[in-house]
Structure 1
């Protein structure tokens, strides 16, 4: 009774007793509110194309369907720290130029020949290319082809929201003026080399120069490793995308990788603190999470929340793309994994 009276008196003063909530604030291990979930690419694509008949890219600014985790209603988040959505740009459209605090990656799901431009340099996009738009850099998207372009957007919107640090602005024209020919950055940084520092200032930011990781480059590298390397029992054959400036993650808050699972291969159970979004690039696999099973086909998407034990069973040879908040957790000394 005395405690109740004390609590009632303190509450209007913005005071709460820690001893009543310590167990929920400092957990013995992660217990994510996010739920493991699967999105059928064909189902999402159908809704996206229907939206394309109704609303233009100019009206929407970004015509995107958010993949909101059912365990995080109202937060526009796929994990507590990450956002995911599928974006559609139809033939002849331009998604207007803007910039914002949030870091973003684009993983191309369908279509060939459209572009993302970063500060006026176009990256011509092919299926399963990875294109970055680091925070603060102006970017626009355009489709001058005769077919729709669809890609996965992965952003750190919830992380920026946590810190109340969001800024955004639009350019006064739809598309940034072209500054260099397409592929200029790939020529400078895409071959494990970089321009020597001389009198001419480098055009790209020194800390994050490369923004286009082509499927035509990363897939042969992954298959080449798989041809001779010993396979990791928990990951399969796996390669992480790196920032060539420092060998670290591709973005300050987001890490990304690809995996190859040979036909019939089953990974051992693994859990990690970085909730991960997966895309099936090739093949078909079953994702097992305890008693729950998800069959994943080409271009399907799934999310594995933090610290949920999981394993993959490949049917034919399967290639997966994944991104997570591992980059953030490593900086904050939070990341942990456990291989069973």
Structure 2
């Protein structure tokens, strides 16, 4: 059929479909544009106290020789989600037993871990071994070899965060096991650009408290630990005093919160979550957020804020 001979609009639409085109004026089930961010992901909360026994059960039932990583992926409850925690980030609880090693690999996704319980655990990143102890934040940037081991006497447990869903969307995924199994250690150091020590974080927060008499109305007392080595994930640590309640907000970022101390309640969208040590909260893009602190808290925020800012999408507004 020749387009020049078509005099009927429905017939034109039908012919365009054959040629792989969709007219912009045709009504869709979901529009291409809408007024405000509308994440398909839901606010969610995972209790460390509830899942810690499950993680220890996994330690009894499967070894690091069978599992690439012994972890529990925090899957968002939104319909159709099979692994992601937010639209761009995935989180997981992970454990390693004394004497075990989690063999080395490397991949395109950027990753980090927030250490919840560990003494004498370690990571080797591109041949450099450094400790992983309670309260530390350890980085493993994309395409860096990394593996883990444990010389202590009690299980080591931590929270992993990776930008795997973003990599799936953009499609540059790569993965490779280290040919030696566990990457050889070239040197061992205590201070590393791949590690924020708990003591260093506490010092940064203390310095911020001394210098800042008016904490941010939305985020409170905050230090930014973001690294150029992780260009897709912002790392910020908040110190919230007992009784603090911030100004509610919405912003254009997908965010995970990891609780390193204290207790509180968060209202995220229509949901209310009571949280404590080790818990994880998912704050989808554009969702209204309001925190109330019952006991002085330290909270790690992990978000795709750098991606949103780079693209010019980021905004923050009161809610």
**What is the distance in 2 between the residues matched to 1:211 and 1:72?**
36
| Contact kept? 1:262, 1:317, Cα under 8 Å | yes
When residues 59 and 5 of structure 1 are mapped into structure 2, their CA distance, relative to the original with a 3 A threshold, is farther
Match of 1:304 among 283, 287, 290: 283
Q: Name the larger-Rg structure.
A: 2
Q: Does 1:123 align with 2:102?
A: no
Match of 1:95 among 99, 102, 116: 102
Match of 2:195 among 200, 205, 212: 212
| Contact kept? 1:276, 1:324, Cα under 8 Å | yes
Match of 1:322 among 294, 301, 304: 301
Match of 2:23 among 14, 17, 21: 17
Q: Secondary structure at the match of 2:207?
A: helix
**What is the distance in 1 between the residues matched to 2:248 and 2:106?**
40
Cα deviation, residue 176, structure 1: 1.1
When residues 72 and 145 of structure 1 are mapped into structure 2, their CA distance, relative to the original with a 3 A threshold, is farther
- Where structure 1 has 5 or more consecutive residues not aligned to the other structure, the ranges are 187-209, 244-248
When residues 21 and 97 of structure 1 are mapped into structure 2, their CA distance, relative to the original with a 3 A threshold, is same
Match of 2:87 among 47, 63, 80: 80
RMSD: 1.9
When residues 28 and 22 of structure 1 are mapped into structure 2, their CA distance, relative to the original with a 3 A threshold, is farther
More strand, by proportion: 2
Give the 5 Å matches for 1:263-282: 263-282=242-261
**What is the distance in 1 between the residues matched to 2:269 and 2:104?**
44
Q: Give the paired residue count.
A: 310
Q: Does 1:283 align with 2:266?
A: no
**What is the distance in 2 between the residues matched to 1:293 and 1:227?**
33
Q: Secondary structure at the match of 1:42?
A: helix
**What is the distance in 1 between the residues matched to 2:93 and 2:16?**
46
Cα deviation, residue 12, structure 1: 4.6
CA shift digits 1:80-120 (9 cap, x unpaired): 11111111111111111111111001111112111111011
| Contact kept? 2:238, 2:299, Cα under 8 Å | yes
Q: Does 1:222 align with 2:205?
A: yes
Q: Secondary structure at the match of 1:313?
A: strand
Q: Secondary structure at the match of 2:187?
A: coil
> TM-score, normalized by length of structure 2?
0.91
Cα deviation, residue 153, structure 1: 0.9
Give the 5 Å matches for 1:120-269: 120-183=127-190, 186=192, 210-227=193-210, 229=212, 230-243=214-227, 251-269=230-248
Q: Which residue of 1 aligns with 2:4?
A: none
Cα deviation, residue 308, structure 1: 0.8
Cα deviation, residue 18, structure 1: 3.0
CA shift digits 1:140-183 (9 cap, x unpaired): 11112111111111111011111111011111222111112223
Q: Secondary structure at the match of 1:286?
A: strand
Q: Which residue of 2 aligns with 1:204?
A: none
When residues 250 and 242 of structure 1 are mapped into structure 2, their CA distance, relative to the original with a 3 A threshold, is farther
Cα deviation, residue 23, structure 1: 5.9
Cα deviation, residue 225, structure 1: 2.2
**What is the distance in 2 between the residues matched to 1:260 and 1:152?**
19
Cα deviation, residue 7, structure 1: 4.5
Q: Mean Cα displacement is larger for which, 102-111 or 225-234?
A: 225-234
